[in-house]
């Protein structure tokens, strides 16, 4: 009897084990068929398939990414190993990552109609709704047309005093800090700069002082932070239904959305009730956009105004804070360049009695180059993402419909064909001509050496494209994107970053804290692939005597 029972159990175990092996075998068959199919669809005219690391069953190349020092360096590793176009598997889904200028131009500019933005996860979609950031096609065109005016150079100058006031507030705060901690105070400047740009974007967009610089917990801001924090959780990245489950975190999420909407809709109502049109911030300008542009386009609805405001507030502070923090860090690493930047600012500030004017700012060519070089050297956006609509051919590679394409910026930015010699050096001078001025429209006559480029083995030669070059022939970095969907806030960002840098460099000297090395990591996987300095930026700040 006992033997019979044992045999029965043995049989059951055997059947289970065989079923498992069969299931494993079928999954394996299915998985590697998917891999083969996607490889065949992505082949080159000469028959080659897109290179990449062999994926592991089900997990694809994710092991590589999670084992890497950080996920940004993993992306760069793929390009170092396999070249300008590489296929990467995320579980059973795959994408290609490209870092070749001609391919990027084709996607963002020449054939941009065939590539739409990669759809965000459902929480981010709820946050930004139907905004310029999330729309495609005609709806996007309408939003972009109305918003372009709001973010025109003319309007941005109107915010000059806000940029200066908040930057000076930060300088006062640091002076108080130095008084407490002594002349050579060590400080993590990254959270400070995040607070500065949050306060600026709050004031500029909705006229609200978030008081982030003073360390106060504004309710609107904490609700927004909560939503953004939740949106990067894998459960929200990979599912659309999680948010409906009756968990306390989801309840809090709904409350946060409700509170934010209450504030914004109330502001919209209040501004609409004003008898005289009055423009002091982005909200006002958006409400009046169709009238001031005298267009037949449908005005933005209250919901669309709310959506665009949130897109601007959320995207309008982190990238700028990262760029300014890194610019200060890089200047401190290259003291001669720090001295040169400070010399230029001192001249303007002394002439204008220590008040940074709009005219003074426009004279700061070297500072402009510092920001451009920082955007090239350490792009605060690791890359962009698109998805193809119809099949296409990309520099000889066949691209099927619905192919996810990632654009990785750093290897491109280290290509001397586009960005000049010694790309691994922080060298703002690369954008300046002999008269120390900077303007677009240069033509390069000689081909520069590629020997120094860390990614030299796979570089292709460039075609002339003078409109995207500075007058020294060096390209503008692609950190703001290119083509129709180029960053809406580019001029705004450049303006506020230069103001903040000018004020801080005028008042302080910067040194890198002992043993500190900045490291960029990939940030949230929302709509953009933003990067942030892991652990912040530790500096020693000391007051300058004028
Ligand atoms: C250093 C700072 C910044 C960088 C590097 C940056 C980068 C970018 C990039 C690369 C894109 C295009 C994304 C794509 O094509 O997929 C973009 C789009 C956008 N950016 Fe920025 N950005 C910055 C600052 C800002 C600021 C300050 C604002 C708002 C005040 C802003 C608002 C937007 C919006 C609304 C879009 C969507 C435009 C569209 O799709 O038509 N950005 N940004």
- Please tell me the distance between residue 528's alpha carbon and the centre of ligand 1 in angstroms: 9
pLDDT score of 447: 46
CA distances from 301 to 284, 290, 305, 447 (A): 13, 11, 6, 52
pLDDT score of 302: 95
CA distance 155 to 93: 43
Q: Higher pLDDT residue, 159 or 529?
A: 159
CA distance 231 to 124: 6
96: three-class secondary structure by DSSP: strand
- Please tell me the distance between residue 133's alpha carbon and the centre of ligand 1 in angstroms: 8
Pocket test for ligand 1, best of 115, 128, 196, 315 (most atoms within 8 A of CB): 315
Q: What is the mean pLDDT of residues 196-206?
A: 96
**185-188 β-sheet, strand order:** 185-188, 538-543, 508-512
Domains of the chain: 137-543 (1.10.630.10)
For residue 107, the 8-state DSSP code is I
Q: pLDDT tens digit string along 415-461?
A: 988 898 899 999 999 998 766 677 666 554 434 455 555 555 554 54
Q: List pocket residues of ligand 1, CB cut-off 6 Å.
A: 117, 132-133, 144, 311-312, 315-316, 319-320, 323, 380-381, 384, 479-481, 485, 487-489, 492-493, 528
Q: Kindly write down the DSSP assignment for every residue of 485-538, as one continuous string.
A: GS-TTHHHHHHHHHHHHHHHHHHEEEEEPTT----EEEEEESSSEEEEETT--E
Q: pLDDT tens digit string along 79-102?
A: 989 999 999 998 888 999 999 999
Q: Give the CA dihedral 72, 76, 82, 88, nearest 10 degrees.
A: 20
Residue 141 has pLDDT above 90, yes or no: yes
For residue 425, the 8-state DSSP code is S
CA distance 497 to 493: 6
Atom nearest to 108 CA in ligand 1:
15
User: Which residues are within 8 A (CB) of 287 and not within 5 positions of it... i.e. 6 or more apart?
Assistant: 268, 271, 272, 299, 300, 305
pLDDT score of 446: 39
484: three-class secondary structure by DSSP: helix
- Which residue, 260, 271, 228, 175, is CA-closest to 508? 175
- Please tell me the distance between residue 313's alpha carbon and the centre of ligand 1 in angstroms: 11
pLDDT score of 467: 64
Q: pLDDT tens digit string along 301-337?
A: 999 999 999 999 999 999 999 999 999 999 999 999 9
* Proportion of the chain above pLDDT 90, given as a percent: 63
Residue 277: how many other CB atoms lie within 10 Å: 11
Confirm if 530 and 524 have CB atoms less than 8 A apart. Answer: yes
CA distance 426 to 55: 36
């Amino acid at each position: 009897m006992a033997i019979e029972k044992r045999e029965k159990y043995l049989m059951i175990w055997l059947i289970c084990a065989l079923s498992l092996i069969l299931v494993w075998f079928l999954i394996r068959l299915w998985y590697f068929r998917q891999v083969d199919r996607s490889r065949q669809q992505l082949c080159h005219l000469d028959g080659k398939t897109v290179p990449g690391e062999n994926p592991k069953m089900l997990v694809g190349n994710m092991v590589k990414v999670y084992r890497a020092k950080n996920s940004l360096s993993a992306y760069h590793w793929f390009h170092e190993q396999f070249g300008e176009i590489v296929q990467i598997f995320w579980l059973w889904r795959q994408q290609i990552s490209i870092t070749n200028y001609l391919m990027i131009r084709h996607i963002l500019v020449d054939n941009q109609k065939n590539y739409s933005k990669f759809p965000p996860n459902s929480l981010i979609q709820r946050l930004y709704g139907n905004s310029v950031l999330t729309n495609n096609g005609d709806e996007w065109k309408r939003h972009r047309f109305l918003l372009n005016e709001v973010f025109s150079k003319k309007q941005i100058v109107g915010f000059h005093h806000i940029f200066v006031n908040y930057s000076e507030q930060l300088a006062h705060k640091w002076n108080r800090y130095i008084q407490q901690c002594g002349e050579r105070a060590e400080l993590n400047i990254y959270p400070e700069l995040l607070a500065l740009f949050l306060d600026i974007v709050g004031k500029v967009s909705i006229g609200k002082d978030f008081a982030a610089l003073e360390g106060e917990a504004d309710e609107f801001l904490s609700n927004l932070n909560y939503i953004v924090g939740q949106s990067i959780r894998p459960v929200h990245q990979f599912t659309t239904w999680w948010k409906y489950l009756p968990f306390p975190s989801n309840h809090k999420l709904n409350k946060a959305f409700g509170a934010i909407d209450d504030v914004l809709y109330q502001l919209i109502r209040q501004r609409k009730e004003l008898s005289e049109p009055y423009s002091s911030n982005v909200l006002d300008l958006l409400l009046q956009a169709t009238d001031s542009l005298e267009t037949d386009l449908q005005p933005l609805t209250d919901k669309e105004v709310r959506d665009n405001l949130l897109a601007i507030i959320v995207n309008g502070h982190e990238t700028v804070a990262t760029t300014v923090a890194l610019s200060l860090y890089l200047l401190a690493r290259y003291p001669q360049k720090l001295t040169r930047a400070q010399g230029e600012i001192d001249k303007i500030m002394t002439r204008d009695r220590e008040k940074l004017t709009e005219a003074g700012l426009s004279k700061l060519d070297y500072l402009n180059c510092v920001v451009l070089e920082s955007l090239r050297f350490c792009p605060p956006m690791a890359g962009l993402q698109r998805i193809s609509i119809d099949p296409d051919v990309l520099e000889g590679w066949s691209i099927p419909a619905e192919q996810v394409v990632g654009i990785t910026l750093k290897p491109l930015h280290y290509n001397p064909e586009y960005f000049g010699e010694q790309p691994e050096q922080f060298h703002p001078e690369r954008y300046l001509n002999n008269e120390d001025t900077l303007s677009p429209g240069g033509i390069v006559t000689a081909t520069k050496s590629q020997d120094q480029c860390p990614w030299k083995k796979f570089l292709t030669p460039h075609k002339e494209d003078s409109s995207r070059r500075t007058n020294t022939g060096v390209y503008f970095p692609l950190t703001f994107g290119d083509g129709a969907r180029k960053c809406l806030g580019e001029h705004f960002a450049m303006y506020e970053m230069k103001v903040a840098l000018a004020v801080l460099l005028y008042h302080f000297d910067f040194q890198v804290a002992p043993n500190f090395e900045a490291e960029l990591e990939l940030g949230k996987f929302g709509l953009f692939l933003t990067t942030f300095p892991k652990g912040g930026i530790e500096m020693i700040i000391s007051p300058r005597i004028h």
